[in-house]
């Protein structure tokens, strides 16, 4: 029974007790006004539910000692969640119903009220007089009250258990050790008032917190979604650093794993702000390096082509410096500038030149020419020194080399951390 049905029932019974007939116009107005006022008051103030909650606040001391800290922290919040409020409303409905029965029982001792319930046969003879109605009505009322009282006691005791379940649900929300699946299942059970299932998930929640399963879940999730891709990226970065140093050939890092992880919000699982800071810094360094690499590579190629085009009066777009080797190797002149070495010294020991070839476009056709005289080699060296003077002091090139050295150092501790965090999943 809810607020308004109870209000109309109680006011109607009281008016009948005092011999007021509801269907008289004046009495009907009083009935509607009084019942509406009482119903609105009960719905707004909800005094019975407040009393039930006060009772619940006092019963929290009945919980086990080992749960005392958790109960103290969450009990007041627990008795105000939706699932518990619905249970409280059920108890309030019991109280309303019992109150209506009590009013009805009292009214049975009023002759004017009892007259309305006299039993008559079709011939108009009374087969159950006032005394009969009073006794029969009282017996039914007492029986109903006993049943309601028994049920109310059971529900009151269970309400304490339900509130305890809600306490563990709230503690699980705050605990890093509770698993997401347990939280969600317990919440769904409470919302459905499926308290038997909720009790099961409460025990699972307690086990999760006891054995730190939630922490283990986070470790495993972060290992797979964060540290595994980062570790692969660190391995690739390490290979790139070694390749650039050993092969004397700069190229971009294309460092993208950290951006993808941040875009998917997986980085929020990392409980190490210093690690996130270092990853942000390494990513910025790689992005700046890649940008400078493209700028420097394009600029050096332009300078090389322009110098030789001016000297040979051809729109040269490619120069190859061939060495006397078995396969007639020729190093990238751009890489030679990057590493500040002469083409003859690019592969280590100084090698003799074989020839220098040039390629240019003429009449929509590529023309190729080569020179191999000592004079041409000397002319190349003069142009080469001029190119070095124009490029080696370039701030962009200097900054790119600084970033490469810094990245070569910074990735090492980050890779070690990724390795440790990835392997941690096998230890929890």
Residues 6+ apart with CB under 8 A from 119: 126, 127, 128, 132, 133
> Token digits for 193?
């008032």
How long a stretch of residues is the chain?
Answer: 428
Rounded CA gap, 377 and 324, in Å?
14
DSSP code, position 367: E
Q: Can you give the pLDDT of all 428 residues of the chain as single tens digits?
A: 677 788 878 877 777 777 676 666 677 778 788 888 888 888 888 888 888 888 777 776 455 545 667 777 887 788 888 888 888 888 888 888 888 888 888 877 777 777 766 666 676 676 777 778 788 888 888 888 888 888 878 887 788 888 888 888 888 888 777 778 888 898 899 888 888 898 888 888 887 776 665 555 655 666 677 778 888 888 999 999 999 988 888 888 988 888 888 777 665 566 678 888 888 999 999 999 999 999 999 999 999 999 999 998 999 999 999 998 877 789 999 999 999 999 999 988 889 999 999 999 988 899 999 999 999 999 999 999 999 999 999 999 999 999 999 999 998 998 888 787 777 665 55
- Tokens 């051809």 — which residue? 314
pLDDT of the residue at 95: 85
Rounded CA gap, 177 and 173, in Å?
9
First to last CA, the chain: 52
pLDDT of the residue at 342: 93
Cβ-contact 356, 344 below 8 angstroms: no
Q: At residue 119, what are phi and psi to the nearest 5 degrees?
A: -95, 130
Cβ-contact 74, 170 below 8 angstroms: yes
pLDDT of the residue at 18: 72
Strand spans (E) along 306-382: 316-323, 353-362, 365-371
> Token digits for 182?
């347990």
pLDDT of the residue at 120: 66
Rounded CA gap, 315 and 408, in Å?
39
Q: At residue 360, what are phi and psi to the nearest 5 degrees?
A: -150, 165
pLDDT of the residue at 221: 65
- Tokens 């490469």 — which residue? 404
Residues 6+ apart with CB under 8 A from 241: 404, 407, 408, 411
Cβ-contact 394, 296 below 8 angstroms: yes
**Residues facing 128 on adjacent strands:** 119
Rounded CA gap, 355 and 330, in Å?
10
pTM (predicted TM-score): 0.51
Q: How distant, in Å, are the alpha carbons of 298, 341, 354 from that of 371?
A: 25, 21, 9
């Amino acid at each position: 029974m809810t607020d308004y049905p109870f209000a109309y029932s109680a006011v109607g019974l009281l008016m009948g007790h005092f011999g007021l007939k509801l269907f008289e116009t004046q009495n009907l107005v009083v009935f509607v006004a009084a019942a509406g006022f009482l119903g609105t008051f009960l719905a707004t103030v909800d005094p019975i539910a407040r009393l039930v909650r006060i009772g619940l606040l006092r019963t929290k001391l009945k919980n086990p000692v080992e749960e005392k800290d958790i109960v103290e922290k969450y009990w007041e919040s627990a008795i105000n969640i939706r699932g518990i409020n619905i249970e409280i409303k059920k108890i309030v409905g019991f109280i309303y119903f019992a109150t209506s029965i009590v009013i009805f029982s009292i009214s049975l001792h009023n002759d004017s009220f009892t007259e309305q319930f006299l039993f008559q046969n079709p011939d108009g003879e009374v087969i159950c007089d006032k005394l009969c109605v009073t006794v029969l009505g009282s017996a039914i009322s007492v029986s109903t009250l006993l049943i309601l009282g028994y049920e109310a006691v059971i529900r009151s005791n269970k309400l304490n258990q339900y509130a305890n379940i809600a306490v563990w649900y709230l503690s699980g929300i705050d605990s890093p050790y509770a698993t997401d699946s347990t939280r969600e299942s317990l919440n769904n059970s409470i919302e459905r008032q499926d308290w038997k299932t909720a009790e099961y998930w409460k025990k699972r929640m307690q086990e999760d917190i006891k054995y730190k399963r939630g922490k283990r879940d986070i470790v495993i999730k972060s290992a797979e979604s964060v540290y595994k891709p980062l570790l692969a990226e660190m391995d690739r970065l390490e290979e790139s650093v070694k390749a650039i140093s050993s092969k004397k050939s700069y190229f971009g890092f294309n460092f993208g794993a950290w951006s993808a992880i941040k875009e998917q919000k997986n980085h929020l699982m990392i409980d190490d702000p210093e690690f996130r800071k270092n990853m942000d810094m390494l990513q910025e360094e790689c992005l700046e390096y890649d940008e400078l690499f493209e700028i420097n590579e394009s600029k050096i190629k332009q300078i090389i082509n322009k110098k030789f085009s001016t000297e040979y009066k051809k729109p040269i777009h490619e120069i190859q410096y061939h060495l006397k080797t078995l396969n007639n190797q020729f190093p990238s002149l751009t890489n030679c500038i990057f590493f500040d070495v002469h083409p003859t010294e690019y592969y280590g020991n100084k090698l003799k030149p074989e020839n220098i070839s040039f390629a240019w476009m003429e009449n929509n056709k590529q023309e190729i020419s080569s020179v191999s005289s000592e004079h041409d080699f000397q002319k190349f060296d003069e142009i080469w020194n001029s190119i070095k003077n124009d490029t080696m002091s370039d701030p962009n090139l200097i900054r790119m080399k600084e970033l490469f050295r810094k990245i070569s150092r910074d990735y090492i501790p980050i890779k070690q951390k990724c390795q440790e965090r990835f392997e941690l999943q096998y230890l929890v």
